[in-house]
Amino acid sequence: MAWTKYQLFLAGLMLTTGSLNTLSAKWADMFSAKGCRDDPEHEFAHPFVQAVGMFLGELSCIVVFYILLCHDRRRPERKMNPGQSFNPLLFFPPAMCDMTATCIMYVALNMTSASSFQMLRGAVIIFTGLLSVAFLGRRLVPSQWLGILTTILGLVIVGLSDFLSGHKDDTHKLSDIITGDLLIIMAQVIVAVQMVLEEKFVYKHDVHPLRAVGIEGFFGFFVLSLLLIPMYFIPVGDFGGNPRQVLEDALDAFCQIGHKPLILLALLGNTVSIAFFNFAGISVTKEISATTRMVLDSLRTLVIWAVSLALGWEQFQGLQVLGFIVLLVGTALYNGLHRPLLARIPCCAAMVNTEEAEDSPGERERLLGDGTVQNGDER
């Protein structure tokens, strides 16, 4: 069935804003500017400030929710389901997982390339699959286990590509690249915990996805903003990346923005893009399908890689392309995207029917981004 202009717009919006979200965060990391004191120019290394901006973008989703709700109430026939009443504190544990994972990933983005950052986030299906078996009593079908194994192979290839390119990289030290890659994979464990928590405790409540994203954004923004105060006094040595060598120097970040306003543009790009990306992703699921959303989310990795090459942010690595393809195959296998193709082959049709009978598409989609209350990979 041919897509409407609105559906094409939503797909384009999701792909564009999803790519801009990572690219703008990386762009901010590449700036150098003077700080509050008479320090020489230094890199804008403020991952926790960037994370606060990202949560501000998520928080804005709740504003969009109430705008849409008010608009719907003016219609003769209401089409929007506002959801039932619930305790907002249900979202606090997943929001803390989201906050922790986001901060770790922004620290890692300072250390590695934007394309590797996006590719390695594919590790989330490994930990989501394993945790769903352990804590939700799921049974993974053979193709999902194969998808997990394929994803592990893809991660090894991408990691090997980063290791080999680290010897030629002038912008990042090899030790930083390896540390950054490991931090990204570690963050996916926390993202998987977030998804399982949402599945176990939150999905039984009828909550509109934009409202859910906004509530988690509120908790993340409020708690992380408060944590910036003790972070200002915690010494971490060279790891801090700022003149005072503390965990996060928010005042230094604001001074650097004042000396180089383009940094603010990059941060605003990150904040605005995450809000539109959440809205577009949820709308794509509603107007087209969850499968389309998964495909578009994979395509944004390709866009990020291509733009990074075009801007000279990284060098071409054939091994990285192979790793991306293997990760793409792993994701497709895990999410059942191979089934429509195999169903057309007579000898494979029975196997596909067996898998579909054992697998629960609703459960799989909830865990991996169907636009319900889950927002684990919305960055």
Cα–Cα distance measured from residue 302 to residue 38, given in angstroms and rounded to the nearest whole number:
41
Instruction: Determine the pLDDT at residue 364.
Output: 46
Between 287 and 351, residue with greater pLDDT: 287
Span 183-194, mean pLDDT?
A: 94
With bands split at pLDDT 50, 70 and 90, how would you rate the model's confidence at 341? Answer: low
Mean pLDDT lowest among 48-57, 213-222, 230-239, 361-370: 361-370
Residue 375 has pLDDT above 80, yes or no: no
Token pair belonging to 93: 């544990």
- Mean pLDDT of all residues belonging to the chain: 84
pLDDT digits (tens, 9 = 90+) for 247-267: 999 999 999 999 999 999 999
Instruction: Determine the pLDDT at residue 152.
Output: 94
pLDDT digits (tens, 9 = 90+) for 307-338: 999 998 888 888 889 999 999 999 888 887 76
With bands split at pLDDT 50, 70 and 90, how would you rate the model's confidence at 96? Answer: very high
Instruction: Determine the pLDDT at residue 343.
Output: 59
Between 269 and 378, residue with greater pLDDT: 269
Instruction: Determine the pLDDT at residue 285.
Output: 78
Token pair belonging to 242: 């700022």
Between 22 and 73, residue with greater pLDDT: 22
Instruction: Determine the pLDDT at residue 222.
Output: 97
- For residues 95 and 216, the answer to whether their CB atoms sit within 8 Å is yes
Specify the residue for token string 């992703």: 281
Between 150 and 199, residue with greater pLDDT: 150
Cα–Cα distance measured from residue 124 to residue 148, given in angstroms and rounded to the nearest whole number:
10
Of 81-85, 177-181, 363-367, the range with the highest mean pLDDT is 177-181
Cα–Cα distance measured from residue 32 to residue 44, given in angstroms and rounded to the nearest whole number:
6
Cα–Cα distance measured from residue 56 to residue 72, given in angstroms and rounded to the nearest whole number:
25
Three-state SS annotation for the chain: CCCCHHHHHHHHHHHHHHHHHHHHHHHHHCCEECCCCCCCCEECCCHHHHHHHHHHHHHHHHHHHHHHHHHHHCCCCCCCCCECCCCHHHHHHHHHHHHHHHHHHHHHHCCCCHHHHHHHHHHHHHHHHHHHHHHHCCCCCHHHHHHHHHHHHHHHHHHHHHHHHHCCCCCCCHHHHHHHHHHHHHHHHHHHHHHHHHHHHHCCCCECHHHHHHHHHHHHHHHHHHHHHHHCCCECHHHHCCCCCECCCHHHHHHHHHHCCHHHHHHHHHHHHHHHHHHHHHHHHHHCCHHHHHHHHHHHHHHHHHHHHHCCCCCCCHHHHHHHHHHHHHHHHHCCCCHHHHHCCHHHHHHHHHHHHHCCHHHHHHHCCCCCCCCCCCC
Instruction: Determine the pLDDT at residue 331.
Output: 86
